[in-house]
């Protein structure tokens, strides 16, 4: 789906000017920072590298900005970011989705403050300039001070490309970026799986989210989504709790054999972690110990009063495949994870629960409890990951050791068509693919 393709050239011209200014100020050598099996610490710690990433990655490729269920009706909006740029995802009066730069064309103030809402216009609070849902100027306060008030006010800048796939909306400030479905092609079947783990209901993003800032580089969250190696160790506090409540082992991995799942890496930095062979039974146990879980042995169709009650309950744990979409989206479990880089050592992560639209409240309550189990402030999964990211950022302050090792599984991964790599679930094949793509983007200036 291609949205809002009819806007003017202002945004494009602004974008070209600012990229020229930044490009000339950044002198780094990306090729010296990554090789096939390792990454230099500067990739996580050097603010010049971060500035170059914002320009060469976040203004250049497709960036996830939201799900269509967050902006269902004209006037519905959500504020978010494309790299460091504040933007507004909004559905305009003609139903088109637009990504407006949240920056008043008068003197720079953001024109929209809430994280989400519904409006008929965006009015800047500083001096009152007002813009329509398509970013068009609606009015200048005290227009008599301008020779021609109509000329004085300019449209909000906007992303020249906005496209979506199965409800996932992406924007790009690069007018020449390939069509979205080409960019996503290798992971399209896994996005489909995520959307279809819904017992026949449409998915809808919950209004509230787990929103956190950690003191570490943005790529740590991205890497971690397809890192099967850390599960048994970072998340070890989960296992005795589940074991105590259910009386049986709840570890994902008992050894690192391939039969326990795979990681697969594709072009454009995309990857998946496929846990379908190991996760289904274990995740079911986690569901069963949640508050609001149905009584053991209950007929779930009768319990929830719907035909696919059992499917709806089990869909809470997701498809069993975690999907990493470079550079800022992760789909896993029944969560959408947005990655927002703030600075080289500071990142905001928003984990949004996905609910089933029109399903009984009791079904969606289990989804929220499961989200809290993993991602809440006292959750068993995400808080432990964040702690590891901060430890890594702290450790990498050490100049005595320059390189990080990404070699795990590099001699046993299989190479398929179009450079697809398949490894055992604890292998670092997705990270190596991520940095091959990172280097390609970072070495090319537009």
Residues 116-135 that bind ligand FES (CB under 6 A): 124, 126-129
CB-based contact 426:229 (threshold 8 Å): yes
DSSP string, 148-174: SHHHH--PPPB-SEEEEETTEEEEES-
- Tokens, residue 373: 């189990």
List all residues 6 or more positions away from 152 whose beta carbon is below 8 Å from its beta carbon. 140, 143, 146
Nearer to ligand FES, 6 or 148 (CB): 148
**DSSP H or E run through 66:** strand 63-67
Assess 92 for contact with Fe ion (CB under 5 A): no
- Tokens, residue 356: 């089933």
Q: Which stretch binds ligand FES (CB under 6 A): 103-111, 178-186, 200-208, 320-328?
A: 103-111
Q: Which stretch binds Fe ion (CB under 5 A): 38-46, 185-193, 380-388, 402-410?
A: 380-388
How buried is residue 79: exposed, middle or buried, by Cβ count under 10 Å (0-12/13-18/19+)? buried
Which of 104, 287, 355, 431 contacts ligand FES by CB under 6 A?
A: 104
For residue 104, the minimal CB distance to ligand FES (Å) is 3
Q: Give the residue carrying structure tokens 């995400």.
A: 382
Q: What are the start-end ranges of the E strands in 310-391? A: 321-325, 329-332, 335-343, 346-357
Nearer to ligand FES, 124 or 442 (CB): 124
Residue 385 touches which of ligand FES, Fe ion, none (CB < 5 to 8 A by kind)? Fe ion
Residue 87: which of 138, 158, 10 has the closest Cα? 158
Integer Cα distance of 274 and 189 in angstroms: 12
Nearer to ligand FES, 106 or 308 (CB): 106
Assess 107 for contact with ligand FES (CB under 6 A): yes
3-state class (DSSP) for residue 290: coil
For residue 123, the minimal CB distance to ligand FES (Å) is 9
Which of 42, 53, 85, 385 contacts Fe ion by CB under 5 A?
A: 385
Which residue has its beta carbon closest to Fe ion? 385
Assess 106 for contact with ligand FES (CB under 6 A): yes
Nearer to ligand FES, 106 or 346 (CB): 106
Q: First-to-last CA distance in the chain?
A: 26
For residue 152, the minimal CB distance to ligand FES (Å) is 11
Exposure letters 313-340 (e unless 16+ CB within 10 A, then b): bbbbbbbbbbbbbbbbbbbbbbbbbbbb
Residue 106 touches which of Fe ion, ligand FES, none (CB < 5 to 8 A by kind)? ligand FES
Assess 39 for contact with ligand FES (CB under 6 A): no
Q: How far is CA 138 from CA 89, 94, 126, 134, 156, in A?
A: 19, 17, 16, 10, 11
Nearer to ligand FES, 129 or 214 (CB): 129
Assess 427 for contact with Fe ion (CB under 5 A): no
Number of residues that bind ligand FES (CB under 6 A): 10
Nearer to Fe ion, 221 or 262 (CB): 221
Number of residues that bind Fe ion (CB under 5 A): 1
Q: Which chain residues interact with ligand FES by CB under 6 A?
A: 104, 106-109, 124, 126-129
């Amino acid at each position: 789906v291609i949205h809002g393709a009819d806007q003017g050239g202002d945004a494009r011209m602004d974008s070209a000017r600012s990229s020229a200014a930044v490009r000339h100020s950044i002198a780094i050598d990306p090729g010296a920072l990554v090789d096939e099996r390792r990454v230099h610490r500067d990739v996580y710690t050097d603010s010049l590298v971060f500035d170059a990433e914002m320009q060469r990655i976040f203004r250049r490729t497709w960036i996830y900005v939201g799900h269509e269920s967050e902006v269902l009706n004209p006037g519905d909006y959500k504020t978010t970011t494309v790299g460091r740029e504040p933007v507004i995802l909004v559905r305009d009066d003609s139903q088109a989705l637009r990504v407006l730069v949240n920056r008043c064309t008068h003197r720079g103030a953001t024109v929209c403050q809430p994280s989400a809402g519904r409006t008929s216009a965006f009015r800047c609070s500083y001096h009152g300039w007002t813009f329509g849902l398509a970013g068009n100027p609606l009015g200048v306060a005290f227009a008599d001070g301008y020779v021609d008030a109509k000329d004085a006010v300019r449209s909000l800048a906007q992303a020249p490309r906005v496209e979506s796939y199965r409800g996932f909306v992406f924007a790009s400030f690069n007018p020449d970026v390939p069509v979205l479905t080409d960019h996503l092609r290798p992971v399209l079947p896994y996005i489909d799986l995520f959307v279809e783990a819904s017992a026949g209901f449409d998915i809808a993003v919950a209004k509230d989210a787990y929103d956190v800032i950690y003191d570490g580089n943005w790529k740590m969250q991205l890497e971690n989504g397809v890192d099967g190696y850390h599960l048994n160790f970072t998340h070890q506090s989960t296992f005795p709790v589940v074991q105590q409540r259910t009386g049986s082992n709840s570890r994902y991995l008992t050894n690192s054999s391939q039969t326990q799942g795979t990681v697969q890496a594709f072009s454009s930095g995309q990857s998946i972690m496929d846990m379908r062979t190991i996760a289904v039974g274990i995740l079911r146990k986690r569901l069963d110990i949640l508050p609001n879980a149905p009584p053991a042995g209950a007929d779930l169709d009768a319990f929830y009063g719907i035909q696919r009650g059992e499917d709806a309950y089990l869909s809470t744990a997701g498809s069993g495949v975690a999907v990493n979409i470079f550079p800022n989206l992760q789909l896993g479990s029944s969560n959408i994870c947005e990655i927002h880089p703030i600075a080289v050592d500071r990142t905001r992560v928003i984990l949004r629960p996905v609910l089933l639209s029109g399903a009984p409240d009791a079904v969606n309550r289990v989804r929220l409890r499961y989200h809290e189990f993993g991602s809440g402030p006292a959750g068993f999964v995400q808080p432990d990951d964040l702690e590891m990211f901060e430890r890594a950022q702290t450790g990498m302050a050490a100049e005595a050791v320059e390189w990080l090792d990404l070699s795990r599984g590099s001699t046993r991964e299989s190479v398929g068509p179009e450079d697809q790599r398949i490894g055992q679930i604890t292998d670092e094949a997705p990270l190596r693919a991520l940095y091959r793509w990172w280097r390609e983007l970072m070495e090319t200036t537009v």
